[in-house]
Amino acid sequence: MSRLAAIFRTTAARLSALYLLLFGISAIVLVFYMTSLSERMLLAQTRETIDAEALSLSRVYERGGLPALVRSVAQRSRQPGANLYLLTDPNGRPLAGNVETFDTSVLSITGWTEQPFAYRRFGEGASRPQGEGENGESRHRAIAQVSRLPNQMIILIGRDLGEPERFRRVVQRSLMLALGVMGLGALLIWLFVGRQALNRIDDMSEASRRIMGGDLTGRLPVTGAGDEFDRLSENLNTMLARIAALNDGLKQVSDNIAHDLKTPLTRIRNRAESMLAGKHSAAQYREALEGTIAESDQLIRTFNAILMISRLQAGYSAESTTPVALSAIVRDVVELYEPVAEEAGVVLTAGEVSDGTVQGNRELIGQTLSNIVDNAIKYSGDVEGGGKVQVSLARAGNELRISVADNGPGIPEEDRARVVERFVRLEKSRSQPGSGLGLSLADAVMKFHGGKLKLSGRDPGLLVEMTFPREQNQ
């Protein structure tokens, strides 16, 4: 029962009930309108028949006088399914006709009876008990036209009302039946649809409960029907996938923080503790404090990089992107790093720089390219015969590609995918300062721009390519 009650609580059921109510009211109005209309039409038809009868009888009287009229009335009265006929003398005594008893006051009027009146035909009384009639009066009701002949004879022609009443009842009953069948059909459809919808929603609720319970890999059922429930499920599933990705990112960040930030924090703490423990010179205190600040700054830098990566992966707001001229960034960064490169004994040059604009964030792209160039200079500084780093910007079909090529030691092929992961620093690079986040940040920035970061080998050296999709025509 509670399940049935639940169906009644669905929106579909409520709407169906409302429609059923409206339909019922209009159907009832229709039934009454139709029956009263048909009744009126039948009545009008009856009157026409009676008029024709009266005209015909008056012609008979004109031609053959009273005897012909009496004969004609008697004859017509005997026909099966005949009208009511009654011919009386001026005092109301019947001369011919088929009406046995009736409300005699009818004879005093001329023309149409205003109200239907009760009557009984000859031979009806005994064979058909009409229990309800008062004073043995039958229930038969009729309308009639009363007219007077020139010799003061009264002639009454009438017709039983049973037929239109029966007809009305039949129409009414059949309409009511149709209405009932339709209502029943609507109810069945409603139950079926409501149940169906309820089942789908129950499935979805069940799946949501499982997901809320912690199973973030769970998804809402998609039946493949392509209806609105499927669309809703698909959208919710996309949302869930996004949430799961964010959750994974968050988990990874906290793992990394636990793993990599604890070490420098422990170092800072140990240093402070050892300085508090013994007596030291002012210079030693100063050195320890400066070391602490330097280490904290590095921690903050690492922290900022982690946050930046997470936010980029979570999807930066599109507001922060504008059309950015990549060529200007390439020139800026080469110009910015050229003196540092020279000092490190590296020749930094800008190769071919095509013009190109992408929709993006100038700061992020500039910072990323700086990091990559910075790395390239660092690693090619020790190369015998002098390091060389070349930055170029080229169009490749619909893409724009910034390449940074160096002639340093490069990265072994098997490690290339790994260095993009957070905090991965190859053993060889442990001696170089850095958080190990530079390439992960670069990767996140490229993904944010819908592009990709690719590391490949040169002989010797490393080629880092930042590929941006779709050039902005402008």
Partner 1 sequence: MARLAPSENKTPDTEAMKILVIEDDREAADYLEKALNEAGHTTHVARDGEAGFTLADSETYDVLIVDRMLPRRDGLSMIAGLRARGNATPVLILSALGEVDDRVTGLRAGGDDYLTKPYAFSELLARIEVLNRRANVRDGETLYRAGDLELDRLSHAVRRGGKEIVLQPREFRLLEYLMRHTGQVVTRTMLLENVWDYHFDPQTNVIDVHVSRLRSKIEKGFDKPLLHTVRGAGYMLKA
Which residues are at the interface with partner 1 (CB under 8 A)? 290, 293-294, 296-297, 300-301, 304, 308, 311, 316-317, 319-320, 332, 335-337, 339-340, 342-343, 361, 363-364, 366-367, 370-371, 374, 434
Least distance to partner 1, CB of residue 297, Å: 4
Q: Which of 386, 462, 467, 465 is nearest to 426 (CA)?
A: 462
Least distance to partner 1, CB of residue 437, Å: 11
Q: Which residue has the tokens 């026909």?
A: 79
Least distance to partner 1, CB of residue 320, Å: 5
Specify the DSSP element, H or E, that contains 351: strand 346-353
* Burial class of residue 233 in the structure, from the number of CB atoms within 10 Å of its CB (0-12 exposed, 13-18 middle, 19+ buried): buried
* CB-based contacts of 327, cutoff 8 Å, min separation 6: 353, 354, 355, 356, 393
Closer to partner 1 at the Cβ: 13 or 333? 333
The residue type of 373 is: V
From start to end of 110-153, where are the E strands? 111-112, 117-121, 141-148
| Interaxial angle between packed helices 162-212 and 11-78, expressed in degrees from 0 to 180 and rounded to the nearest 10 | 170
* CB-based contacts of 371, cutoff 8 Å, min separation 6: 438, 439, 441, 442
CB 466 within 8 A of CB 367: no
Least distance to partner 1, CB of residue 368, Å: 9
The Cα 248–Cα 260 span in angstroms is 18
Closer to partner 1 at the Cβ: 372 or 462? 372
Least distance to partner 1, CB of residue 23, Å: 57
Q: Which residue has the tokens 């050195």?
A: 287
The residue type of 50 is: I
Least distance to partner 1, CB of residue 343, Å: 6
- Measured distance between the N- and C-terminal CA atoms of the chain, rounded to whole angstroms: 67
Least distance to partner 1, CB of residue 450, Å: 17
The residues pairing with 105 across neighbouring beta strands, listed in sequence order, are none
Tokens read off for 48: 């026409």
Closer to partner 1 at the Cβ: 88 or 302? 302
Region class of 158: left (phi > 0), else alpha (psi between -120 and 50), else beta: beta
Least distance to partner 1, CB of residue 331, Å: 11
Least distance to partner 1, CB of residue 357, Å: 17
Chain mean position to CA 386: 65
The Cα 330–Cα 153 span in angstroms is 126
Chain mean position to CA 34: 41
Residue 231's alpha-carbon distances to 197, 308, 332, 347, in angstroms, are: 14, 34, 48, 57
Closer to partner 1 at the Cβ: 48 or 363? 363
Q: Which residue has the tokens 């919808």?
A: 197
Least distance to partner 1, CB of residue 12, Å: 45
Closer to partner 1 at the Cβ: 57 or 441? 441
The Cα 339–Cα 337 span in angstroms is 6
What proportions of the chain, in percent to the nearest 5, are helix, strand and coil?
60, 20, 25
Closer to partner 1 at the Cβ: 277 or 282? 282
Closer to partner 1 at the Cβ: 147 or 298? 298
- Between CA 460 and CA 470, with CA 465 as vertex, the angle to 5 degrees is 155
* Burial class of residue 138 in the structure, from the number of CB atoms within 10 Å of its CB (0-12 exposed, 13-18 middle, 19+ buried): buried
Least distance to partner 1, CB of residue 362, Å: 8
Least distance to partner 1, CB of residue 347, Å: 15
